[in-house]
Structure 1
Amino acid sequence: MKVKIAVFARFEMMERIKAYTNDEDDFEIVPFTYSNAIETVELIEKAIMCDIYLFTEILPFLYVKKKIDKKRLPAVKVAVDEYMIMSSFYRLKYEHNQPLDRFSIDVLNQIHVDEVLTELNKLDKDIYTYSISENGLVDLDKIVSFHQNLWKEGKIDFVLTSSNEIEQQLKGLGITARTMHVPKINLRRAMTEAKTMTKLNQSKSAQIVIGKIRIKNLMAIKLEKGENATQELIEKLHDILLKFSQKTAASTFPINNDEFILLGTKGVLDHITNHYRDFPLLKEMERTLHTPVDIGLGLGLTAKQAENNAKMALEACEQSDNSSCYIVNERQDTIGPLGIRKQFDTSRLYQSLIHKARLNNELSYNFIDFITIRNNEPFSSNDIATYYRVTKRSAERTVNKLLLGEVIKVVGEEKPYVKGRPRKLFSLNQ
């Protein structure tokens, strides 16, 4: 699964990032370009399906920091550290012939500036630092006034700023100003941090899936068609299950010569999740064998729990004379029959997604597809994460919008891990 990184940057910086990450295949850059830092307040609402947010400047990050903290959004900002400051000093001196004295600088943390000045033995020079508060409201005018007053008093000859926006305002006042250059290594470190943080948040556990599969009314078939015909049916069923096992990284083996056990984890779960409506495994069995088949799938945190649930699921198949497949999860909820389409009002759902949950068109259509593919079965935020190929945290933000808009409702819980809190299950509020 690719990590989706929402990058908030100005056009020139975005082009640099794209050039640096062309050869990367384990993450995807989702660009959110702005001209003014304040635009990130609206842009961040459009990044709902991204795994993590990356900010290339201080001001845009600070404008949305309160929202990030409140919603516990995963975010990374490019560090304005000693390396960036030293790199900017180098460019000033050797590319722009600017003496490293009589200037002011604004940063998030003054400590980094002091450490660089100490290293360069320039603490006695006329250098003034403005520390931007990370905890209060962003006051752009206050930062600009700090530099402007020093300029008016004749204490500085130029300004080195951490924001392009501040540079433009100062230049408009006739003050010489430059924005600090962001080194390539700082961008790469931020990217690495974003990927690492996301992968640490991703689930590393998986449920056990045990399936019990049998031909319905096998004894009657044996009496009617004979031993050889019955054995041929069993062998065909075995072949189908072996092919399915190869596709889903599962194992299949016969028991009692008339029933098969399927043992798997994530691959089988993904297949089930993506085929609630049609369940091609069952269709293939019917098409090949021309006789009804029962499939009982049990989910559990242990093999024993999954096996017991598979037995219960197989018993549910006895309610029908036709082929059927049921799932019993770790809470012993029975789901199914799979392959039978459950109808819902797509037009009504679309209107609710747009007007109540306030999702955009693309997300609304994707959610309708998600519900359709899952055959309108209860789902968790983890199911949404799997479908959209994002992390659970990203999916939870979508779920919260759906809950606030009363598009979905809580219908139960599941506990897919031995440790940790249960997951909430949701269904359409129709």
Structure 2
Amino acid sequence: MTRRILLHVGTPKTGTSYLQDVLFHNRPLLREAGIAYPADRFDAHFLAALDLMQLPWGGLEQEAVGAWDRLAGEAAETTDGTVVISHEILARAGRAHVDRALRSLGRDEGAEIHVLVSARDLTRQIPAEWQENVKHRAELGYRQFLEQITDPERRSRIASWFWGVQELPDILDRWAADLPPERVHVVTVPPPGSDPGLLWQRFTEAFGLGGLALDLGNDRSNPSLGVPETALVRRINRSMNAQLPPPDYRPLVRELLAHQTLSQRRGSPRLSLPADLRGWVHEREEQWAAELDKRGYDVVGDLADLRGTDPSDTPATPDTASGTDGAPAVRSWPDPDQPDEAAVAAAAVDAIGSLLTEAAAARHEVERLRAALAGAEHELEQAYEHPGHPLRVKTVRVLEAHRSGRLALRVYRWVRGR
């Protein structure tokens, strides 16, 4: 058999985190089925993508040095069967990066390379991308974001990144220009209201996972936030960015607050496009769908899914208050730059509760470690009084086996002047 490479290169916010989590946790079963997902840690393909494109990413790029060559080397060890590589930021790769990637994966040695792109309508992608910016410390407002991405010159960093990872025809021009259309696969994200399992069924078909008893329970999804919750995170960024370094921001703000706490508030209004931008967006959705159809790629799903639905096309949800004529008042478009302050305050209370719980757990752990250190110091002191006693030898060996123990030994020896 010829080595077959399935190279999944994006796009963001299309179920990629869940897909990668399932692939990572099912590596042994996949290997038995002749499918390799080479990764020694869950973010191995992310680090490889950073390394391939030499992208700055809050200090993680230093950890990523050499990661692409390691990944390509592991893929090369698979002499037959299928290798899957997947990360959504690969959509941003320039032509030189793409050429390096394909060469390192064996293009010139006859490897059968397939490119897969998972795609969602621009109507949902635009608000989702702004929210991702906010969850990565951005302070700019929604209207500022929209102004930048609609700038025809695309001069800002925000606009350059957005279109780099979202403009489907261009992504496929870069990644699949030299591939026959039957080796280019577009997986469309189903429209709102679809069966929740439909996207996974499409992934299963595209990646050849049918018939495998995969464990689907490990959900490392990237959940979305409502309007007031996103507004709260943006305010936290404006207040704390200068004080909170990246190694602390990710676990505390992005994971604990955004993903684990605020995303659970399901009753908040969702981010959407303002009315004045919908026509501009729908025009591009139509152009993209028509262009992909013309190219004859293998479509898993339906290109009609790339045409977003206006919120105005569905019946408006009445508010609980009544209008001046006694009829139910219709909710206006929820502007994340001017959110409902009561809703933001309610989200903030939930956020504070989550932080207090985390602080209490950390405090208890510190107390436990202090007690353990005090006990170790006492045992060491007792052993010192009896130099040849086996307890002393045992205690020293135990302490030297652990980082906190070695620290206790250093402190003890310094105090004793040894």
TM-score by length of 2: 0.23
Higher-helix-fraction structure? 2
Rg comparison, structure with higher value: 1
The structure, 1 or 2, with the larger RCO (C-alpha pairs under 8 Å, 6+ apart) is: 2
TM-score by length of 1: 0.23
